[in-house]
Amino acid sequence: MAEQGVRQAEDRLVHLNTAGAGLMPDTVRAAMEACIAREAAIGCYETEESLDDLLQGEVYQRLARAIGAPVEDVALFDSATRAWCAVVPKLRLGPADRVWVTPYEYAGNLISLFSLRDRTGCRIEVVPTLPGGDLDLEWMAAHIADDVALVSVTHIPSGCGIVNPVEEIGRILAPYRCFYAVDACQSIGQVPVDVSRIGCQLLTGAGRKFMRGPRGTAFAYVAPRLREALITDFHDLHVAHVDSPTGYRVTDPSARGLELAERTTAAVAGLNAALTLFESGSPFDHKDVFRALRETVERTPGIELIAPGEVQSGIVSFRHADIPADEIRRRLGERRINVWKIVGNHTPIYMAERGVETAVRASVHYYNTVEEIETFGRALREIVGAGSRS
Ligand SMILES: Cc1ncc(COP(=O)(O)O)c(C=O)c1O
């Protein structure tokens, strides 16, 4: 009965914050709860042992299938930033190398690149955009050369809904020496992501957003050519053995060598359940809800849409000239509508060019309905019409 009450309360919620974290499906919650209950009943290590096939095999196979990667090239992490930092700072770059980023780069990735630049002397360049905000692919094709060591492209940024053409970029870069990194945090589970089509050597993503997995789950695809090029500073005990008093042996040459051994069993079990649901046919064809969200925001008086680019996803960011983003978020929250206040400096290059310090971000997934968007639209119009006081 209590469970039913919770569900009814949840039913009234309009969750437009999957770009923050998606609503967890019952199967994910059940997998995690079962795992935690078992840990409390029989012990954590014993639970891990009983789930060995899932934790060491199944979850990797499902992830590999989800992104079109060989299973030995995928690794699990507790955040997408951790996945990125397990790879990018270990690149052997020098003053002769150039690194390309786009204006849509995520701030955490940029911090690690800036520190890599400060350590190695490499140069960071920003790929220009066309007037509408799309990346200038002609510029990329004309300027790519073998002194570009790394190209980093965010598939869909956290601050707005542009879908960058990662496959087309992969074709431009393919003949060159550079490593190609794609941040798929906001795209995995939302739009098709297939590393064999993208042609990247690194792809990072989070489990908690459009995959609907738990917090504290993330992954990376790391191609063998990239793994071989990294500075190897450590291997944890799930992939290496200290086999003499003076040395160790790596027993698993897969991408799992980039992981740490200790992890939250329940989170990995939850991710496995999310991947299972995804495999059972996660729909990418909810364009009517995407469109409804964008049109609703566009038609609201006084709202400025922040939506660069031709191809858009289910993330729509906007701001109002007089009403601060946190106030819009709070007042929507009072009506049980979840949106998020984004800060410009999380997507700092693009947002600084555009002069955006804060904005409201609404994001939809396949569980949202056009009716929910109408509810959101009515509430937004009321808030805007009411001015800055409640
Ligand atoms: C585009 C993008 N990249 C990277 C991240 C970082 O992910 P995490 O918080 O799992 O480190 C985020 C988080 O929102 C993101 O939106």
* pLDDT at site 11: 57
Please tell me the distance between residue 186's alpha carbon and the centre of ligand 1 in angstroms.
8
Whether 308 is in a domain gets the answer yes
Residues 306 and 256 in one domain: no
154 lines ligand 1 (CB under 6 A): yes
Per DSSP, the residues of 33-72 read HHHHHHHHHH-HHHHHHHTHHIIIIIHHHHHHHHHT--GG
Ligand 1, atom 14: closest residue by C-alpha: 158
Ligand 1 neighbour 162 (Cβ under 6 A): no
User: Which residue, of 279, 303, 327, is where some domain finishes?
Assistant: 279
Q: 323 and 270, same structural domain?
A: no
211 and 352 inside one domain:
no
Residue whose pair of structure tokens reads 């052997």 in the numeric block? 92
Integer angstrom CA distances of residue 157 from 110, 142, 384: 13, 25, 26
The closest-lying atom of ligand 1 relative to the alpha carbon of residue 82 is 11
Going from the Cα of 355 to the center of ligand 1, the distance in angstroms, rounded, reads 22
What CATH number corresponds to the domain at position 294?
3.90.1150.10
Q: Is the same domain home to 251 and 380?
A: no
Residue 23 inside a domain? The answer is: no
* pLDDT for residue 135: 98
Per-residue pLDDT of the chain (390 residues; tens, 9 = 90+): 344 444 444 558 999 999 999 999 999 999 999 999 999 999 999 999 999 999 999 999 999 999 999 999 999 999 999 999 999 999 999 999 999 999 999 999 999 999 999 999 999 999 999 999 999 999 999 999 999 999 999 999 999 999 999 999 999 999 999 999 999 999 999 999 999 999 999 999 999 999 999 999 999 999 999 999 999 889 999 999 999 999 999 999 999 999 999 999 999 999 999 999 999 987 676 778 999 999 999 999 999 999 999 999 999 999 999 999 999 999 999 999 999 999 999 999 999 889 999 999 999 999 999 999 999 999 999 999 954 444
Same domain, residue pair 172 and 158: yes
Q: How many domains does the chain have?
A: 2
Residues 292 and 275 in one domain: no
Within a domain: residue 22?
no
Dihedral sign (CA 306, 372, 5, 267): negative
Residue the block writes with tokens 């042996």:
249
Is 194 found in the same domain as 120? yes
pLDDT at 3: 41
Could you tell me if residue 123 is inside a domain? yes
User: How many CB atoms sit inside 10 A of residue 131's CB?
Assistant: 7
Question: How far apart are the CA of 346 and the centre of ligand 1, in A?
Answer: 9
pLDDT value of residue 30:
98
- Residue 246 falls inside a structural domain: yes
What pLDDT, on a 0 to 100 scale, did the predictor assign at position 5? 42
User: Per DSSP, what are the bridge partners of residue 203?
Assistant: 182, 221
Question: Are 66 and 153 contained in the same domain?
Answer: yes
CA of 221 to the centre of ligand 1 (A): 16
Residue 24 in domain: no
Residues 134 and 219 occupy one common structural domain: yes
Residue 390 lies in a domain: no
Q: Is the CB of 214 under 6 A from ligand 1?
A: no
Of 105, 183, 185, the one to substitute when testing ligand 1's pocket (max ligand atoms within 8 A of C-beta) is 185
Whole-number Å distance between alpha carbons of 1 and 101: 52
The answer to whether residue 21 is domain-embedded is no
Predicted local confidence at residue 8, as pLDDT: 47
The CA 281 to ligand 1 mean position distance, Å, reads: 24
Q: 93 with 241, same domain?
A: yes
- Hey, what are 240's tokens? 């290496």
Residue 111 neighbours by CB distance under 10 Å? 13
The residue from 279, 302, 334 where one domain ends is 279
Looking at residue 388, its pLDDT comes to 44
Report CA(183)–ligand 1 centroid distance (Å).
Answer: 8
Which residues form the domain of 339?
2-16+283-385
Q: What is the pLDDT of residue 281?
A: 82
**Are residue 275 and residue 295 in the same domain, yes or no?**
no
Q: Are residues 303 and 169 in the same domain?
A: no
pLDDT of residue 365: 94
Q: What are phi and psi of 37, to 5 degrees?
A: -60, -40
CATH number of the domain where residue 161 is located: 3.40.640.10
Domain final residue, candidates 246, 279, 312: 279
